[in-house]
């Protein structure tokens, strides 16, 4: 019976030590510090509605397009 108690106490001590060391470890951001600096607003293509980063879009008359084809298709449509 005493052996079982010793084993249980050993497991409890190991568990508490692991829990303590995990709290002491520095927490890492899921995205990382480097990616947070490169965040960019998303815009919607005026022709097809796909969302893309603002830097990759083509902007004409305050409207964003995902490609030159969609820009030409949308601007050539009669309104």
Domains of the chain: total: 1
Whole-number pLDDT of residue 75 = 73
Whole-number pLDDT of residue 23 = 86
**Overall pTM surpassing 0.75 (yes/no):** no
Rounded to 5 degrees, what are φ and ψ at 42?
-100, 145
Tell me whether residue 32 is in a domain.
no
Tell me whether residue 2 is in a domain.
no
Whole-number pLDDT of residue 30 = 56
Tell me whether residue 7 is in a domain.
no
Tell me whether residue 15 is in a domain.
no
Whole-number pLDDT of residue 37 = 63
Low-confidence ranges of the chain (pLDDT < 50): none
**Residue 58 and residue 74 in contact, taking contact as beta carbons nearer than 8 Å:** no
Tell me whether residue 72 is in a domain.
yes
Whole-number pLDDT of residue 26 = 79
Torsion of CA 15, 18, 24, 25, to 10 degrees: -140
Domain limits for position 61: 41-79
Whole-number pLDDT of residue 33 = 56
């Amino acid at each position: 019976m005493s052996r079982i108690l010793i084993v249980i106490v050993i497991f409890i001590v190991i568990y508490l030590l692991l829990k303590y060391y995990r709290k002491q470890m520095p927490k890492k951001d899921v995205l990382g510090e480097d990616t947070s600096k490169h965040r960019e607003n998303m815009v919607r293509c005026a022709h097809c509605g796909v969302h893309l980063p603002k830097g990759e879009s083509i902007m004409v008359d305050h409207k964003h397009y995902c490609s030159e084809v969609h820009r030409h298709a949308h601007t050539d449509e009669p309104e």
